[in-house]
């Protein structure tokens, strides 16, 4: 498991706004990731909104759009540019190279969003060999890890550090 050696983060995100961009494939796993993310956001005190996209391949374009919008975008004066974005998704290896292309494109795209906008992007994209690995990382009852929670903590902690 990759959880060994992970830092224990306690983050005060009061005053921050986070946008969670979440894929829709693999409903059970995504429900767990979203629950963990929401719990971490409540614990941090940050406000948040959510954007759903079809799959993990679409995460970078949605993250880029929300990270690049100026305050008051789309005619909504209450809208504000997020202090952090959290991307949640899951890709499970199949019998074709599709897995490699989607994982590589999504990862590179999310890094590009973060670097080009200066807004932290929490990486909650599970790239698993099988469904059992995804379930074990989804933060569900019986899971050994809670990657949705961890992705929020990392994004909020980075946003605080960059203040």
* Domains of the chain, residue spans: 17-70+78-162
Active site residue 98: yes
- Per-residue pLDDT tens over the stretch 73-115: 555 555 678 999 999 999 999 989 999 999 999 999 999 999 9
Dump pLDDT digits (tens) for 5-53. Answer: 677 778 899 999 999 999 999 999 999 999 999 999 999 999 999 999 9
Rounded (5°) CA angle 32-38-40: 105
Catalytic residue (choose from 17, 26, 98, 149): 98
Residues 6+ apart with CB under 8 A from 111: 121
Say whether domain 17-70+78-162 belongs to CATH 3.40.50.960: yes
Q: What is the predicted pLDDT for the residue at 77?
A: 55
pLDDT over 70 for what percent of the chain? Answer: 90
Structure tokens at 29: 């796993």
Consult the annotation and say whether 56 binds a ligand. yes
């Amino acid at each position: 498991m990759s959880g060994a050696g992970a830092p224990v983060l306690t983050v005060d995100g009061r005053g921050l706004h986070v946008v969670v961009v979440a894929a829709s494939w693999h409903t059970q796993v995504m429900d767990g990731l979203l629950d963990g993310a929401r719990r971490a956001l409540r614990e941090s005190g940050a406000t948040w909104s959510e954007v759903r996209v079809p799959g993990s391949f679409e995460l970078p374009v949605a993250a880029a759009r929300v990270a690049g919008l100026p305050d008051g975008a789309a005619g909504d004066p209450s809208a504000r540019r997020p202090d952090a974005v959290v991307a949640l998704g899951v890709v499970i290896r199949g019998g074709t190279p599709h897995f490699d292309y989607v994982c590589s494109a999504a990862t590179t795209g999310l890094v590009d969003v973060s670097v080009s906008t200066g807004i932290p992007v929490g990486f909650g994209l599970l790239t698993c060999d099988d469904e059992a690995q995804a379930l074990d990382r989804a933060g569900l009852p019986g899971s050994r890890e809670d990657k949705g929670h961890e992705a929020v903590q990392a994004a909020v902690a980075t946003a605080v550090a960059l203040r």
